[in-house]
Structure 1
Amino acid sequence: MDLDKARSQISEVDRKLVDLLNERARLSLNEGEPEVYVPGQEKRVFEKVRGLNQGPLSGESVCAIYREIIQDVTVGYLGPPGTFSHQAAMKRFGDSLATVIGAVAKEEITYGLVPIENSTFGAVPSVRIRAEVYLPVTQALLSRYQLPAIRKVYSHPQAFGQTRVWLDQNLPNAARVEVASTAKAAELAAAENYTAAVSSEVCASLYHLDVVAKDITTNKSNVTRFFVLGQSSDNPTGDDKTLLIALNVFGKHKINQTAINSRPSGQRQWHYMFFDANVASALDEIKSYCLDLVVLGSYPRQSY
């Protein structure tokens, strides 16, 4: 095909796309109100467009485009660009946990996205849970220098825990300095001589660093779970997780509780260890029930 003719046809398609996108936006508005984020409805849209897609775009590519089209919302996330919270927000929606949650409560933002628990290191310490997102966590060593020249490594404490074995073997003499986020670590490594950062490969391009070593995480199946927070609750799905009879099981085992904190076993994702024998027995009995009476939210289960 003639190049000029192809470009002309692409321009015409672009014009039609803009018109159709604006027409879709007009149809989605309800009396001037922006479209409300409904996780179940979003899933149905993605399933529909996957079925309609005949290529050459992949199904995932089409869904990524539609994710940008249908989400006219403001999202708050933890940390600077390049953090795993930022990546999870981008995955789901295209400076502290309290700030993010508070902004949702005060309606300064439409939704907030915060890390809830990590499959290796557990939980990361007035709103509703609307959806969940699972993001594989792969750490890398970023620097402007090769291994022999590196004297100091920056990272978040959790990232150091996830990569301790590799660091012990490859940089045993380098000082390890904890900072607020892996993105901040990359920023410092870009500014200081003879330093490196344990961070995501996304930060390498953001801060103009080289990826000295890829995937240095000890647990290769490491996943962090995120919750999407909002003001309202989603409709029941028929596969709801909250059952009030859980308290009867605790009473049966004579457990006087105010809270239960679990630790990841490290054996497989979302498998936990409990140290008290009665608690372990009770939790084994109520595997299919909720662990708390507080309703944090109702949302579609996200596969990972």
Structure 2
Amino acid sequence: MSVVSLQEDISVAYLGPAGSYTHEAAQERFVGNNFAYKPYASISDIFDAVESRRTTCGIVPFENSTFGSVVTTLDCFIGSKLRISAEAYLPVHHNLLSKSKLSELKKVYSHPQALGQCKKWLATHLPGVALVEVASTSYAAELAKEDPEAAAIASLMCAELYSLNVIERDIEDGKNNTTRFFILGGSTSTRTGDDKTYFLFTVDHRKPGALCDALKVFKDHEINLTKIDSRPSQQRPWHYAFFVEFQGHLEDENVQGALEKLKELCPNAKELGSYPNQRPKEDTY
């Protein structure tokens, strides 16, 4: 993961409390005494903090290699004016933390993503135990600290911070489990020659082939799509926003041509930012 180190003070909003994987990603991405890490209770709170300039920037989980997209982050982008300035990757190893023994557990707290990334292990080793979704893995550790019948799926950092025992290490289903994060700010990154861009658009669902027409624009301009998602548009029922990530930068000539055409075709179209490609070299599309 590349790091940022600046001379002036910068505040970084992350999904708290302390010990979350987002906190860990923030510490790896922003290195030095000039950075103040500020915890927030939800992903939407991070967006609000950056938009209102209570923090300089924010870091949010975007997708996991095992369990897919973080839909809360996608939903926040729909109404936001923030831009993505960078991405970061963090290998994630989940641990079962508790003050009790495995046989004494009646519930497991964690973020929905963490529960999903460990579902095979949980089904095998804790069948019938209640799985309780909470706002973050570190908040799960806080709850497990006060509940003798509970455990949390969280980081080893949380075991130390919240005085919990490590019942089992590395319980994630995918041993190459990795989470990708976006760095949020008011502007996008400059062109490097190896960049990706994130873009949001809607189509007229009443028109046959409207989505196909929009996606064909990328092919016509020789742009390689690397990811696509859809979410309710928040405009009206059964209407969707589409998110696409592709190789290239907003300053590239072919990208500019494609986005101009998309803005002609699509009722709503929004550039969410360009950022240097940080995908580990051993990972391929």
What is the TM-score of this pair, normalised by structure 2? 0.65
Residues of 2 paired with 1:180 and 1:97: CA distance? 9
Please state if 1:302 is matched with 2:248. no
Match of 2:218 in 1: none
Residues of 2 paired with 1:88 and 1:288: CA distance? 24
2:17 aligned to which of 67, 70, 80:
80
Distance 1:185 1:223, change over 3 A: same
Give the deviation of 1:240 after TM superposition: 3.8
Match of 1:121 in 2: 67
Distance 1:212 1:271, change over 3 A: farther
Distance 1:171 1:222, change over 3 A: same
2:48 aligned to which of 102, 106, 109:
102
Secondary structure of residue in 2 paired with 1:295: strand
Give the deviation of 1:195 after TM superposition: 1.7
Distance 1:273 1:115, change over 3 A: closer
Are the equivalent residues in 1 in contact too, given 2:15–2:136 (CA < 8 A)?
A: no
Distance 1:273 1:166, change over 3 A: farther
Residues of 1 paired with 2:134 and 2:125: CA distance? 21
Residues of 1 paired with 2:198 and 2:48: CA distance? 28
Distance 1:108 1:203, change over 3 A: same
Residues of 2 paired with 1:228 and 1:242: CA distance? 13
Match runs of 1:132-281 below 5 Å: 132-241=87-196, 255-257=209-211
Which protein shows a greater Rg? Answer: 1
Paired residue type of 2:112:
P
Are the equivalent residues in 2 in contact too, given 1:139–1:198 (CA < 8 A)?
A: yes
Residues of 2 paired with 1:225 and 1:198: CA distance? 19
Residues of 2 paired with 1:86 and 1:178: CA distance? 19
Secondary structure of residue in 2 paired with 1:298: strand
Match runs of 1:39-50 below 5 Å: none
Structure richer in helix, relative to its length: 1
Distance 1:222 1:255, change over 3 A: farther
CA deviation profile, 1:172-191 (whole Å, cap 9, x unmatched): 23222222221111111111
Secondary structure of residue in 2 paired with 1:211: strand
Are the equivalent residues in 2 in contact too, given 1:71–1:93 (CA < 8 A)?
A: no
Structure richer in strand, relative to its length: 2
Q: What fraction of aligned residue pairs are identical, expressed as a percent?
A: 46
Give the deviation of 1:211 after TM superposition: 0.5
Give the deviation of 1:301 after TM superposition: 1.6
Distance 1:257 1:86, change over 3 A: same
Residues of 2 paired with 1:170 and 1:298: CA distance? 43
Paired residue type of 1:127:
L
Residues of 2 paired with 1:201 and 1:190: CA distance? 14
Tell me the matched-pair count: 213
Residues of 2 paired with 1:195 and 1:243: CA distance? 39
Consecutive unaligned residues of structure 1, counting only runs of 5 or more, are: 1-38, 44-62, 248-253, 261-269, 275-285
Residues of 1 paired with 2:83 and 2:175: CA distance? 31
Detail structure 1 runs of 4+ shifted over 4 Å in the superposition: 67-71, 270-274, 286-293
Give the deviation of 1:100 after TM superposition: 1.3
Secondary structure of residue in 1 paired with 2:210: coil
Are the equivalent residues in 2 in contact too, given 1:118–1:222 (CA < 8 A)?
A: yes
Residues of 1 paired with 2:52 and 2:9: CA distance? 19
Residues of 2 paired with 1:71 and 1:142: CA distance? 38
Secondary structure of residue in 2 paired with 1:177: strand
What is the TM-score of this pair, normalised by structure 1? 0.61
Distance 1:202 1:233, change over 3 A: same
Residues of 2 paired with 1:192 and 1:143: CA distance? 9
